[in-house]
Amino acid sequence: MASILKSIVQKLIYNYLDMRYLNIPKTTLKIFLGGLAIISLSIACEGPEGPAGAIGPAGPQGVAGAQGPAGTKGPNGIQGETGTENVFFSNWITNTWTRMPDNYVWDTIPAPQITEEILNRGVVVAYYRDNSTIPWAKIYPVQIYQNGNWIFTLESKSIKENLILFHGPSRNGGIVDAITTIPFSQVRYMVIPGVNPAGRMNFPDLNDYKAVCSYFGINP
């Protein structure tokens, strides 16, 4: 503002000089000089610039912008351990052995719990006992002895919805097989879903039948 007024005063002074040179009447000169004096006083009276005023209140929040694109999907977490409530135990089932022409002996146990998912990612465990009065059980495969001699080995194979139990010809020759040596044998199977082979579940030793029963709270 001061610079503008100074510029005006300079122009008025020049005009005054021109007026004197041009012999302007004294009355006009007085009026002119009076105006020049007022403007000069305005310039002289202008004080220093005052301090900045207080910051005003914040304005209202603006409209939210458009949502950005979705981020990339993170890696899958580690699969948790299989819960005990998802494990299936069959009852004890008495075997029905069938001799084949090649002297193999078979028994097929219907097991609808053995699904494609179980075959791909689960575990099937079979246990054997000689008869219903025996308090212990062995995990398949099982070596069968007669008079202290090993005569054959019972094995198991899981297929969709079935558990196959079998053994080959006797090591002693002749008709010595499951039909004649263990006619009242029984099997019990356990199905464990969703087991990750790289991080096996924190279950007890599956070979220890009593520990398994105690862990899952089932009657042996």
pLDDT along the chain (220 residues), means of 10: 54 53 55 56 57 74 74 60 74 97 95 96 96 95 94 97 96 86 97 67 86 92
In terms of DSSP H, where are the helices of the chain? 2-21, 26-45, 116-121, 178-181, 209-216
3-state secondary structure of 58: coil
Q: In whole angstroms, what is the distance from residue 46 CA to residue 9 CA?
A: 15
pLDDT at 76: 61
3-state secondary structure of 198: helix
- Enter the pTM of the model: 0.61
As a dihedral over the C-alpha atoms of residue 204, residue 210, residue 216, residue 217, rounded to 10 degrees, the angle is -150
106: which strand partners?
98, 166
pLDDT at 80: 47
Contacts of 190 (CB under 8 A, 6+ apart): 87, 88, 89, 90, 124, 125, 126, 127, 212
| Pair of tokens at residue 105 | 């002996």
3-state secondary structure of 179: helix
3-state secondary structure of 190: strand
Q: In whole angstroms, what is the distance from residue 158 CA to residue 190 CA?
A: 11
pLDDT at 159: 98
3-state secondary structure of 26: helix
